[in-house]
């Protein structure tokens, strides 16, 4: 029962990643692409959480934490680059 519900949740996350990739490829401005990258990272964190349930390993949460940290720093640096150059 739990695994069935989590498979449906995986399908939702996959759909979200696909829709975000559409905006990532189509995006009219560069800020659009950076937003799509941010949303992609947040979706991937949720995806890693669900995968860590299926693999039954808590160490994947550390991977998600480092991934989110790197994405946060990357978005801040790119926004600063847009604003006044590095």
Residues interacting with another protein, by CB under 8 A? 1-2, 5-6, 8-10, 12-13, 15-17, 19-20, 22-23, 29, 31-32, 34-36, 38-39, 42-43, 45-46, 49-50, 52-53, 58, 61-62, 64-65, 68-69, 72, 75-76, 79-80, 82-83
- Measure the CA–CA gap between 52 and 69, rounded to whole angstroms: 18
**Can you give the length of the chain in residues?**
86
User: Is 42 exposed, middle or buried, given 0-12, 13-18 or 19+ CB atoms closer than 10 A?
Assistant: middle
CB of 60 to another protein, least distance (A): 10
Tell me the H-state helices in 1-86: 2-26, 30-55, 59-84
CB of 72 to another protein, least distance (A): 4
CB of 23 to another protein, least distance (A): 5
């Amino acid at each position: 029962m739990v695994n069935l519900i989590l498979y449906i949740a995986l399908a939702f996350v996959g759909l979200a990643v696909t829709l975000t990739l559409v905006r990532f490829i189509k995006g009219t401005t560069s800020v659009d692409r950076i937003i799509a990258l941010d949303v992609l990272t947040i979706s991937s964190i949720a995806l890693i959480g669900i995968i860590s349930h299926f693999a039954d390993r808590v160490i994947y949460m550390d991977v998600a934490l480092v991934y989110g940290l790197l994405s946060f720093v990357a978005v801040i640096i790119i926004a600063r680059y847009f604003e006044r150059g590095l």
